[in-house]
């Protein structure tokens, strides 16, 4: 069995045209002109897997390398002397095998992204100490102030004291490792009617939100919801999930540059939005459980969420380019929050179930 090949001696990049010959037991002879004559046993040769019709690489015991264009000859040799060494090519050359591999990889990747990453991120987040996030708390609040999203609160001192007393009911119940929740009242210039949880333990509430509530138990419900984000370590889990998604893209594609490609960015972005919606659902569940344990009805949370949505719609009317459209299945899927009506319905259902329990 003889065929032409290119020989690289392992010292220089320049190839030598040679003729190679395999005897009946696979021993290799290499001939190249008058001076080049090499011999190697088959057992010492490493044959690279076949990739289509690209030249096959044969790694030699002395560090040299052969490039052989006649893949069929090498395949015949492997079948005679060691068929298992050609298993990869046999699998890759059948379309059904390729299709099955693609389906298994796609399903496995999707399951890991949807279920595995959130579980791993949660486990890691709860294993890390809160002290490491302390600097983020001050930096996040300072950033909101400097960028003009908020300004010093304008609430009357008496009302501020009432709000802090309501907040204390929540803070006292979820103190963790000596770290208490901290309330920051701000006038929501660009932030508007809102409440924001900043890592690791700060909750920022705007004057507009305080003025929106018609019952202080609604404010208690909002505090419980934001406390749920802290209790479940959603900020840290969000960062970890983003990192794990990036690692998954690199692992599946085998290319670090694929992280910035549109094909990888869009699914990653959509999954991150799903993770955010799951966090909101967890925070709603935490607030519901807190209110029930405190002897309050979760209905107050549903009420303020619906009123917040209505207030947001009113604000959007002053910015036509941002709103005015009803939620569609697509826009709902591309949102960081679940639909408010669905959230309110789930909360009210939990409230009715608790009331029906003896």
Q: How far apart are CA 32 and CA 13, in angstroms?
A: 16
Fold exhibited by the domain 2-92: PH-domain like (2.30.29)
Going residue by residue through the chain, which has 358 residues, state the pLDDT in tens, using 9 for 90 and above. 789 999 998 888 888 899 999 888 888 999 987 788 999 998 888 888 888 788 999 999 988 999 999 998 888 888 887 655 555 656 666 788 778 888 998 899 999 999 999 999 999 999 988 776 666 666 888 889 899 999 999 999 999 999 999 999 999 887 765 578 999 999 999 999 999 998 888 999 999 999 999 999 999 999 999 999 999 999 999 989 988 988 888 888 776 665 566 556 667 777 888 888 999 999 999 999 999 999 999 999 999 999 999 888 776 666 554 444 444 444 444 456 778 999 999 999 999 999 888 7
CA neighbor of 114 nearest in space, from 220, 231, 270, 258: 270
Q: Are 27 and 33 in contact (CB under 8 A)?
A: no
In this prediction, residue 132 carries a pLDDT of 65
In this prediction, residue 323 carries a pLDDT of 46
Q: Are 288 and 333 in contact (CB under 8 A)?
A: no
Residue 182 phi, psi dihedral angles, 5° rounding? -125, 135
Residue 56 parent element (H or E): strand 56-59
b/e string for 47-69 if b means 16 or more Cβ within 10 A?
bbebeeeeebebebeeebbbebe
In this prediction, residue 25 carries a pLDDT of 83
In this prediction, residue 259 carries a pLDDT of 58
CA distances 184 to 117, 199, 332, Å, are 32, 13, 31
Report pTM.
0.70
CA neighbor of 284 nearest in space, from 232, 237, 347: 347
Q: How far apart are CA 59 and CA 45, in angstroms?
A: 6
CA distances 25 to 1, 41, 82, 205, 349, Å, are 11, 9, 11, 81, 77
Domain ranges of the chain: 2-92, 112-356
| Structure-token match 């907040």, residue found | 167
């Amino acid at each position: 069995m003889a065929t032409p090949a290119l020989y690289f001696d392992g010292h220089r990049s320049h190839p030598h045209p040679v003729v190679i010959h395999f005897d009946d037991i696979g021993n290799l002879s290499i001939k190249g002109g008058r001076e080049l004559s090499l011999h190697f046993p088959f057992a010492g040769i490493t044959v690279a897997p076949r990739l289509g019709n690209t030249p096959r690489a044969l790694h030699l015991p002395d560090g040299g390398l052969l490039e052989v264009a006649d893949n069929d000859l090498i395949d015949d040799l492997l079948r005679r002397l060691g068929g298992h060494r050609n298993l990869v090519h046999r699998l890759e050359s059948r379309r059904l095998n390729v299709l099955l591999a693609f389906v298994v990889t796609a399903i496995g990747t999707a399951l890991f992204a949807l279920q595995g990453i959130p579980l791993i991120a949660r486990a890691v987040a709860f294993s890390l100490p809160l002290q490491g996030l302390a600097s983020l708390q001050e930096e996040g609040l300072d950033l909101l102030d400097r960028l003009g999203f908020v300004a010093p609160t304008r609430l009357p001192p008496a009302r501020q004291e009432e709000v802090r007393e309501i907040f204390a009911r929540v803070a006292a119940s979820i103190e963790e490792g000596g770290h208490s929740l901290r309330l920051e009242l701000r006038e929501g210039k660009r932030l508007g009617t809102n409440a924001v949880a900043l890592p690791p333990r700060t909750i920022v509430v705007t004057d507009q939100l305080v003025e929106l509530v018609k019952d202080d138990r609604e404010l208690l419900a909002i505090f419980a919801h934001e406390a749920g984000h802290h209790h479940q370590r959603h900020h840290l889990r969000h960062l970890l999930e983003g990192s794990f998604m990036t690692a998954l893209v690199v692992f599946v594609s085998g290319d670090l540059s694929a992280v910035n490609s549109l094909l990888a960015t869009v699914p990653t972005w959509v999954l991150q939005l799903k993770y955010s919606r799951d966090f909101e659902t967890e925070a709603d569940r935490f607030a519901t459980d807190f209110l029930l344990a405190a002897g309050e009805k979760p209905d107050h949370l549903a009420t303020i969420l619906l009123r917040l949505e209505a207030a947001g719609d009113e604000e959007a009317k002053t910015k036509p380019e941002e709103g005015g459209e009803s939620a569609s299945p697509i826009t709902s899927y591309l949102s960081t929050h679940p639909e408010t009506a669905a959230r309110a319905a789930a909360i009210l259902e939990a409230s009715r179930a608790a009331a029906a329990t003896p």
